[in-house]
């Protein structure tokens, strides 16, 4: 695997590669890689001739400085894991390399950024859009792979691609979970042992909640899920939402949309976790 820290070096290699290869698959990450990331890598590797991954903890998408400071970083482990999936190229720039000047770009995603993560993490999706747009321009991938674990982020990126007519296919990949159901996340490393033991309850509650679709209205489902989550020790809920799966707007009646998902964001102790599942 070839590793680049400088944009110019990466670009000149990719320019040459583009002449040789039929397609470049790209998986952007913030590192502290786990099986969820690796599944995206495997899929991208299988569907493209060249796999490019990036590891960059993007400071401008953090609305909380402690979260940024505590975000896990294990580059040596990441390199080993990327090599295990035969990643061809790793881009691992510094903050200065990505942002030599202060970032002032403002994106507008309308109602998509007004709900859930957008409402609870001001500036988060603007920071995501800035980095993903810049990475797309640097790497110019044919396909880019994102996880449904961050379902709203996926919708934002599709909207970014649509607004700017970016020549990249966005591929959505299912959420990878631990054997006990906990959605894999780099932040899980920060859970205390007792928190890790109870964390799988989140998915159990989501699954049970979604299965009640025939007996509960969307509003009743939100209340049911919230009530169950509140019973978990040390759990502080940011939101529980039932929304359509395209615009991600809250729904009040099941027949309002052709697909719906159940979303949750909460703190378990100091660690903020998000998860979502399909209702129909
Ligand atoms: P991150 O490093 O958290 O920014 O995530 C990088 C990419 O991996 C994003 O597209 C995430 O949605 C995806 N991802 C993170 N965790 C999972 C998971 N458990 N299952 C599937 N994809 C994931």
Q: What is the pLDDT of residues 11-63, one digit of tens each?
A: 999 999 999 988 999 999 999 999 999 999 999 999 999 999 999 999 999 99
Atom of ligand 1 nearest to the CA of 30: 2
- Please give the C-alpha separations between residue 253 and each of 110, 192, 222, 256, in angstroms, as whole numbers: 23, 39, 12, 5
Half-sphere exposure of 266 (CA within 13 A, CB side): 28
Predicted TM-score (pTM) of the model is: 0.98
- Residue 181 domain flag: no
- Residue 58 domain flag: yes
Whether 176 lines ligand 1, by a CB cut-off of 6 Å, is yes
Residues 226 and 87 in one domain: no
Average pLDDT estimate for 107-119: 98
Residues 216 and 108 in one domain: no
- Buried residues in 124-161 as b, exposed as e (16+ CB within 10 A): bbbbbbbbbbbbbebbbbbbbbbbbbbbbbbbbbebbb
Whether 183 lines ligand 1, by a CB cut-off of 6 Å, is yes
**C-alpha R_g of the chain:** 19
Nearest to 118 by CA among 147, 169, 159, 175: 159
Whether 127 lines ligand 1, by a CB cut-off of 6 Å, is no
Residues 37 and 167 in one domain: yes
Give the pLDDT confidence of 155-164 residue by residue, as tens digits.
Answer: 999 999 999 9
- For residues 244 and 259, the answer to whether their CB atoms sit within 8 Å is yes
Residues 136 and 17 in one domain: yes
- Active-site residues: which are they? 37
Average pLDDT estimate for 65-70: 94
- For residues 122 and 83, the answer to whether their CB atoms sit within 8 Å is no
How far does residue 185's CA lie from ligand 1's centre (Å)? 7
Last residue of a domain, one of 148, 173, 198: 173
- Residue 178 domain flag: no
Average pLDDT estimate for 238-248: 98
- Residue 73 domain flag: yes
pLDDT band at residue 2 using 50, 70 and 90 as cut-offs: very high
Mutate to test the pocket of ligand 1, among 31, 92, 147 (most ligand atoms within 8 A of CB): 147
Give the pLDDT confidence of 162-185 residue by residue, as tens digits.
Answer: 999 999 999 999 999 999 999 999
> Which residue lies with its CA nearest to atom 17 of ligand 1?
36
DSSP state of 101: S
At 191, which CATH number?
Answer: 3.30.1300.10
How far does residue 231's CA lie from ligand 1's centre (Å)? 27
Nearest to 242 by CA among 226, 269, 267, 222: 222
List Cβ neighbours of 100 (8 Å cut-off, separation of 6 or more): none
Last residue of a domain, one of 145, 173, 201: 173
The predicted pLDDT at position 220 comes to 98
- Residue 42 domain flag: yes
Domain residue limits at 216: 186-275
Res 74 pLDDT > 90: yes
Whether 185 lines ligand 1, by a CB cut-off of 6 Å, is yes
Rounded to whole angstroms, the Cα distance separating 36 from 41 reads 9
Whether 37 lines ligand 1, by a CB cut-off of 6 Å, is yes
Last residue of a domain, one of 173, 203, 232: 173
At 134, which CATH number?
Answer: 3.40.50.620
How far does residue 276's CA lie from ligand 1's centre (Å)? 13
């Amino acid at each position: 695997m070839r590793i680049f820290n400088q944009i110019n070096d990466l670009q000149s290699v990719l320019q040459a590669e583009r002449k040789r290869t039929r397609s470049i698959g790209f998986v952007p990450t913030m590192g502290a890689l786990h099986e969820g990331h690796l599944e995206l890598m495997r899929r991208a590797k299988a569907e493209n001739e060249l796999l490019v991954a990036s590891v960059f903890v993007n400071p401008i998408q953090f609305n909380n400085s402690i979260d940024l400071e505590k975000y896990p970083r294990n580059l040596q482990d990441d390199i080993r894991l990327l090599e295990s999936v035969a990643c061809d190229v790793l881009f691992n720039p510094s903050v200065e390399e990505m942002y030599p000047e202060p970032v002032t770009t403002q994106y507008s995603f309308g109602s998509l950024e007004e709900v859930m993560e957008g409402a609870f993490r001001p500036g988060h999706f603007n920071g995501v859009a800035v980095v993903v747009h810049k990475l797309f321009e640097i790497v110019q991938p044919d396909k880019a792979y994102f996880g449904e674990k961050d379902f709203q982020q996926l919708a934002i990126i599709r909207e970014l691609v649509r607004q700017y007519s970016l020549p990249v296919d966005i591929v959505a990949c299912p959420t990878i979970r631990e054997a006990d159901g906990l959605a894999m996340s780099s932040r899980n490393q920060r859970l205390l042992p007792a928190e890790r033991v109870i964390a799988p309850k989140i998915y159990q509650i989501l699954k049970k909640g979604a299965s009640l679709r025939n007996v509960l209205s969307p509003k009743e489902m939100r209340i049911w899920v919230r009530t169950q989550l509140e019973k978990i020790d040390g759990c502080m809920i940011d939101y529980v939402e039932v929304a359509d799966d395209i615009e991600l707007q809250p729904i009040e009646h099941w027949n309002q949309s052709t697909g719906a998902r159940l979303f949750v964001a909460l703190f378990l102790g100091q660690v903020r976790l998000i998860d979502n599942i399909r209702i129909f």
